[in-house]
Amino acid sequence: MVQTVADTQSRGFQELRKYDKFSEAGVFLKEDNMNLQGKSALITGGGTGIGREIALYLAREGTNVAVNYSRSEKEARATTQEIRDLGVSGLAV
């Protein structure tokens, strides 16, 4: 079984619902047995919108997350604090 990176309780999931196929939204799919704990990820645009939801999802899965931003520094820093609150490393770059 495959699940989307945004769970059904997130605000980002609501944005994804407008697509017939989640992969068309540019969101990767994760196999249920894929272990993300201890891995690291860089999420571009991870401070806002769908990028933020993906970053938080990965953090909940145990992934250390770097959030890349160009104009949304405040939001990126807030997202990285939420990531650190989940017990993994978070960095805004």
Q: Is 30 helix (H, G, I), strand (E, B) or coil?
A: strand
Q: Please report, in tens digits, the pLDDT of each residue of the chain (93 residues total).
A: 344 444 444 555 555 554 444 444 445 555 566 788 999 999 999 999 999 999 999 999 999 999 999 999 999 999 999 999 999 999 999
Domains and CATH numbers, the chain: 2-92 (3.40.50.720)
13-37: burial string, b at 16+ Cβ within 10 Å, e else: beebeeeeebeebebeeeeeeeebe
